[in-house]
Structure 1
Amino acid sequence: MGRQEQQSSIKDLIAKGKEQGFLTYAEVNDHLPDSIVDPEQIEDIVRMINDMGISVHESAPESDDQTLSDNAVSADDDAAEAAAAALATVDSEFGRTTDPVRMYMREMGTVELLTREGELRIARRIEDGLNQVSAALAAFPPTVEKLIDRFDLVEAGELRLTDVIVGFALPDIGDT
Structure 2
Amino acid sequence: MTMGKEKGYVLYDEVSELLPTDLNGADLEDLLMGLDVAGIEILEEPKLDAKIEEPAEFLDLDLIQAPVGDKTNDPVRMYLREMGTVPLLTREGEVEIAKRIELGQTVVLKALSRSPLVIQKIIGMGEEVERGALAARDLVQISDPLVTDETFEEKKLEFLAAVEEVEKLYRKVQQGHQKLLPVPRGIKPKHHRRQRWELGRLTVKIGRQLRAI
Q: Same fold (TM over 0.5)?
A: no
**When the two structures are superposed, what TM-score results if normalisation uses the length of structure 1?**
0.36
Q: Which has the larger radius of gyration?
A: 1
**When the two structures are superposed, what TM-score results if normalisation uses the length of structure 2?**
0.31
